[in-house]
Structure 1
Amino acid sequence: MHPPRAFRRTALSLGLTAALVASVSVPAYAGPADGLRGTGAATSPAAGPVHSITDSLARQVASSLTDRSARNRIVSAVTRDSVDLASVEPGSALSSAIRTANRDVLAAKGLPASGGSLLRLRLADAGMRAALDRGETPLVTAAPNDDTVTSVTAYDPAGRAVQLDAVRLPDRPVLVVEVDTSKALPMGLKLIRDELAARGLASTAADPTATTRTTGSATATAGYWATKVTAVRLSDDKEPWIKGDAEIFNLVGGFGLDGKAKVDVVQMPYLDKDGQTYYPNQLLVHFNGYKYNLADVVMMEDDGDTNYQGLVKAIVTALLTIVDGGMYIPLVNAILDAIPTSWYTDDPDYVDSWYTLSTSSSGRLNGAAGNGWLDVVPYFVQPL
């Protein structure tokens, strides 16, 4: 299990070349300190819908531990690895509660009811195995959607709530109920891509078969330029012990050949730890489908509570209002303004953003919010 992640909201200004500043107005995006007002969905309280569901389920899982046989089976399973909750205690009252909770989580995340099992149970820390081996009964809690919590609520088998310090690892073993974001993210990104395509807002820039493109006054007849990420690193911050892995994805925006704003969705499945540098050599921006030699990147994560239906509706609403005026307009602010405010104030769904990447972008690019950096180089994609 990898350490959890949290992200700062402190903004840093984004330095741009003189040429870009002269041609494009690009304000650095400072996050909630600038008074963000998301229009895509209503602001949710700190204990969002997903956490409310998993918190209730955590209490029920804890109650099931009063049965010694059930406790032994559950403890034995989680000490080996995280457990798909759908496989826990089949045919029992707990199993019925898990099915109901999973159905509610799928709905809360805007995912189809046919999405399968998204809930899992894990041991909060590998060092707790020894206590379980000694026969200690664990507490059960739900992973919060807030990285700034100072305490977390866990439950004992009698249903009593126990407050635990969010920073100091507890002495007693703890089981964590959470959303398996590695399963949820691919479904969510497919939903986003399908909806963007249906509204004519999906980027075709990553299509390697589209080798004849008109970009401004130039025509590419063989291959195209892209931006390759050679290294990436996110901030290393103090974080709650309870938080699990998050899944990173990027919204890459530009203007398509038809002059409409377009978005491509790019996942970074390897980026599972903060404070560590990764060397993916991943293509992030494909310029063959863009009218201008510029694109923007908004990096986000699903830490369990992301509602993909709400996200894509917010993006669509924002992008449909943008008109190509014959000059590149950065899309970062439009996307960020559309995202619900709660995604900045309560949890780390917004990670960082990068303005105006071009085919000549090279070197280290610091994110506008100061949460990470990318090392990039131009890369020419040869035709098949």
Structure 2
Amino acid sequence: MTQVLKAALTSVAAFTALTLTAGAAAAVPAQTSPRAQAPSKVFTITDHLARQVAGELADQTARGHVASTTASGPADLLTIEPDTRLGQEARAANRAVLAAKALPATSGSLLRLRLANTGTRAALERGEVPLVAAAPTDDEPAEVTAYDPLGGKVLLDPVKAPDRPVLVVEVDVAKAMPMGLELVRDVLADRGIKAVKPSASRITESRTTESQALAANGYWATKINAIRLNNDQEPWIKGAAEIYSVVGGFGLDGAPAVNIVQMPYLDNDGTTYYPNQLIVHFSAYKYNLADVVMMEDDGDTNYQALATAIANALLSIADLGYYVPLVNAILSAIPTSWWTDDPDYVDSWYTLSTASSGRLNGAAANGWMDVAPYWVSAL
């Protein structure tokens, strides 16, 4: 997963009162001890399963089967040895992971096995005994704990990949995140927070005759032409990032309204992407302003907790007749544990408007977006 810079962090209390305009410096969450928090529930589950998988690989036949099933990419752990003790362990672990992420038990398999250091694939196929580790939810682990088939622990350098094959037990975040974000949308709707639904008709319901005529033909949006997150030295054991953004503003009725935007292309730090993605739809907002909070799912996100944090933050904000940025309230409501060992916060952008264009640096200095106004024509 992508690694987030932990730079220049100030207290939450200091930024909750700030009202920022576009391009102004912003405070970011307070930093706590990077080792203060216990391992996440998901990591505890996958770490235990990694030890079980390692034990099964003492058998040469099992090693050959695993080598073949992971040859072309990650393999579904529930299907590798479905009728064995390992299969039972995997199914139990999958149920526990679904519960830890607040996903329905009917969501299917989320656990997979991946060869982390692909340069050792030939060695694995020759029958070399691999180590097995769980994907850490910490982007800056001091070490990576792996297991050998005898149950022994092997501590690995998080920066330099070993020459020995390492199989990783991990959550398929690309599969989990769409289900989880849909849960977030449902919870927000149940709490009375409207989703942003691009529609010219919503503008025509509450604006003047002149504006109605304009809105009937379309609306303005903000388009991302290019985007880049800062390059950090990330653990070799991590896979691609799964990024999403919480885009919020005041709806036409004056109540906070949000849109959860997936950014599945944004895999790696230090890479510039050119998505041409619409990030803000201004047809749904009372003011000509909206905020963006970018987050990363490291595999351990509890979507119910995420939704509750966002809802509690937004429901505390009142329309005062002028625009108040929503970023600070969202960040201050997110549990402190999310900022330690598991930096899910990536960056934030304040007060985007229909006139926003050019390069916009994130408030946390973790990345930038090149944006431009985009006219969405009505059909």
TM-score (norm 2): 0.92
Identity percentage of aligned residues: 60
Alignment partners' CA distance in 2, 1:378 and 1:322? 27
Deviation of 1:88 after TM superposition, in Å, equals: 1.1
Tell me the residue number matched to 1:315: 310
| Conserved 8 A contact 2:64-2:127 | no
Q: Which has the higher contact order (CA 8 A, sep 6+)?
A: 1
Alignment partners' CA distance in 2, 1:380 and 1:127? 47
Alignment partners' CA distance in 1, 2:36 and 2:6? 18
Question: For 1:328, which of 323, 341, 354 is the aligned residue?
Answer: 323
Number of residue-to-residue matches in the alignment? 368
Alignment partners' CA distance in 1, 2:36 and 2:96? 16
Deviation of 1:301 after TM superposition, in Å, equals: 1.1
Alignment partners' CA distance in 2, 1:81 and 1:128? 13
Tell me the residue number matched to 2:189: 197
Stretch deviating more after TM superposition (75-84 or 154-163):
75-84
Read off the aligned partner of 2:149 and give its amino acid letter.
Answer: P
**Aligned with 1:380: secondary structure?**
strand
Deviation of 1:235 after TM superposition, in Å, equals: 0.8
Residue pairs, 1:118-267, within 5 angstroms: 118-207=110-199, 210=202, 212-214=204-206, 218-219=211-212, 220-267=215-262
Tell me the residue number matched to 1:30: 28
Tell me the residue number matched to 1:346: 341
Alignment partners' CA distance in 2, 1:199 and 1:215? 27
| Conserved 8 A contact 1:141-1:174 | yes
**Aligned with 2:217: secondary structure?**
coil
Stretch deviating more after TM superposition (212-221 or 280-289):
212-221
Aligned CA distance change for structure 1 residues 86 and 120 (closer, same or farther; 3 Å) = same
Tell me the residue number matched to 1:10: 7
**Aligned with 1:69: secondary structure?**
helix
Does residue 115 of the first structure (1) align with residue 113 of the second (2)? no
Tell me the residue number matched to 2:294: 299
Alignment partners' CA distance in 1, 2:342 and 2:171? 15
| Conserved 8 A contact 1:11-1:368 | no
Deviation of 1:276 after TM superposition, in Å, equals: 0.7
Stretch deviating more after TM superposition (171-180 or 211-220):
211-220
Alignment partners' CA distance in 2, 1:277 and 1:116? 33
| Conserved 8 A contact 2:289-2:354 | yes
| Conserved 8 A contact 1:214-1:291 | no
Stretch deviating more after TM superposition (350-359 or 189-198):
189-198
Tell me the residue number matched to 2:94: 102
**Structure 1 segments unaligned to the other structure (5+ residues):** 14-20, 37-42
Deviation of 1:29 after TM superposition, in Å, equals: 2.3
Q: Deviations over 1:122-173 (max 9, x none)?
A: 0012101122133210010000011111211100111111111111111211
Alignment partners' CA distance in 2, 1:280 and 1:210? 27
Alignment partners' CA distance in 1, 2:28 and 2:230? 16
Question: For 2:269, which of 244, 269, 274 is the aligned residue?
Answer: 274
Deviation of 1:214 after TM superposition, in Å, equals: 3.4
Alignment partners' CA distance in 2, 1:159 and 1:231? 47
TM-score (norm 1): 0.90
| Conserved 8 A contact 1:150-1:167 | no
Deviation of 1:209 after TM superposition, in Å, equals: 5.6
**Structure 2 segments unaligned to the other structure (5+ residues):** 11-18
